[in-house]
Amino acid sequence: MTEPLTSAEQAVVERAMAAPMLDQVPRWAAINSGSRNLEGLALMAEQLAQAFAELPGQIELLDPEPVTRIDAQGQESDVLHGRNLLLTVRPEAPVQLLLTGHMDTVFEADHPFQSCQWLSPGVLNGPGVADMKGGIAVMLAALQAFETSPDRDRVGYQVVLNSDEEVGSPGSAPLLRRAAAGKLAAFTYEPSALPDGTLAGARPGSGNFSILVKGRSAHAGRNPQDGRNAVIGAADLALRLSALVRPGLSVNCAKIEGGGPNNVVPDHAVLRVNMRPLTPDLQTFAEQALDRLMAEVATAHDLHLHRHGSFARPPKPVDAPGQRLLELVRTCGRLLGQEIGWKDTGGVCDGNNIAACGVPVVDTMGVRGGSIHSSDEYLIAESLGERAALSALLLCRLAR
């Protein structure tokens, strides 16, 4: 039988639910922090650093790792991202946990969706209210409440709030790996998989690739035989890659860029591809197949091909430790009158990166809501207290 809440746990839960989350979320949502809006991200990072400074420990705002991208002409250039927040509390405690979230949204500075409004009583519409400024508020409320627990000294934790999750965490992935090292468990505050509070279980991996194809230009009428058509090579590779699709592996050849005037054999093209393997074995298969098919196309068309990109999000199957952590979340939910289940999903997040480090993670600990990544995004306000209570009780139970 599950042990009922102690009086100390009940006090922590009540503190978490009483936190001023509904004041924080609209204020944070009013700050545009699109992944490419460096000024807005800097302001958001400062606001979050001030809010999390109420917790014990050391706060750092860390520069991202260098990141590059390939443009339509095949040229590699630097991509700038915002700084990432790292909070470290009691690093010598016997139980070490990781809590993560992201401060960036998909809504850039010139996007028309910039403000909040109430759609109906208890339903707040706004940029990032669910994904995931509401989740960050839940995380903070739970941690502040846990700091009043008599068992707090048994738990140390790190908080990572990154600035580039919505674009695949390219500049913060090394920080996530370092923070995950040695942790018993991790929680990421993405919104629930469904508005009823259902958690995400297994997730596929995701790799984004830009394949640069280099050929040789020639006059399309006078000497086309001397040319090497890069667009044809990219199209051939796209067809070959699409043939890799099978259960557990999706391949989306999203765009071919390149070429020029109709009377010139094109000497360059860039193929953009997303691949999503459900298991580590399928990821290995996809990587090896991509390299093999690139070599075949290069030989068949006398071209040079170069791959830029990687599987930035490894597959996240639910292993035995992950299953136990999900069951602990469900148990805590039931103690609070919340019936919580989980289901596999096709999306990816920082939970993929954390699980790849061997750390069990539940990555949808944030609010209930929906329509994320659109102007219809909404937060169910009562879920702020529900989810803060859930995380607070989880922290108490892990401490014991």
- Three-state SS for 340-372 is CCEECCCCCCHHHHHHCCCCCEECECCCCEECC
Specify the DSSP element, H or E, that contains 322: helix 320-335
Tokens of 376: 């219809």
pLDDT at residue 1, as a whole number:
53
Which residue is associated with the tokens 């996530």? Answer: 176
The predicted pLDDT at position 311 comes to 97
Q: How many CA atoms lie within 13 A of 249 on its CB side?
A: 20
Give 75-78 contacts, CB < 8 A, sequence gap 24+.
Answer: 76/308
pLDDT digits (tens, 9 = 90+) for 29-78: 999 999 999 999 999 999 999 999 999 999 999 999 999 999 999 999 99
Question: Chain centroid to CA 97: how far?
Answer: 18
- Specify the pLDDT at position 2: 77
**Domain 206-313 coded CATH 3.30.70.360:** yes
Q: What is the pLDDT of residues 275-332, one digit of tens each?
A: 999 999 999 999 999 999 999 999 999 999 999 999 999 999 999 999 999 999 999 9
What integer pLDDT is reported at residue 305 of this predicted model? 98
CA distances from 141 to 21, 155, 343, 391 (A): 7, 16, 26, 9
Q: What CA–CA distance (Å, rounded) separates 389 from 141?
A: 9
Displacement of CA 29 from its chain's centroid (Å): 18
Kindly list the domain boundaries of the chain, sorted by start residue: 7-203+316-399, 206-313
Domain 7-203+316-399 matches domain 206-313 at the CATH topology level: no
Residue with tokens 């219809």: 376
Q: Side chain identity at 163, as an amino acid letter?
A: S
Q: Are 210 and 252 in contact (CB under 8 A)?
A: no
Give the integer Cα–Cα distance in Å for 128 and 116.
Answer: 10
Pairing of strands 155-162, 199-200: unpaired
Torsion, Cα 112 113 119 122, to 10 degrees, reads -160
Assign 191 to helix, strand or coil.
coil
Q: Which residue has the tokens 């739970």?
A: 142
**In the CATH scheme, what architecture does the domain 7-203+316-399 have?**
3-Layer(aba) Sandwich (3.40)
Identity of residue 108: E
pLDDT single digits (tens) 85-95: 999 999 999 99
Return the residue matching tokens 């995701």: 206
Beta strands in the chain (DSSP E): 58-62, 67-70, 76-79, 84-89, 95-102, 117-120, 123-125, 155-162, 185-188, 199-200, 206-214, 249-258, 268-277, 304-313, 342-343, 361-362, 369-370, 378-380
Segments of the chain with pLDDT less than 70? 1
Structure tokens at 151: 């068992």
Task: Give the residue from 363, 389, 16 showing the smallest Cα distance to 191.
Answer: 363
Three-state DSSP at 264 gives strand
Contact assessment for residue 145 and residue 13, using Cβ atoms and an 8 Å cutoff: yes
Q: Are 86 and 62 in contact (CB under 8 A)?
A: yes
Both ends of the chain: CA-CA distance in Å?
16
* Tokens coding 170: 């390219």
Q: How far apart are CA 256 and CA 109, in angstroms?
A: 27
CA distance 129 to 134: 5
Using the structure block, give the residue that is written with the tokens 């609010």: 367
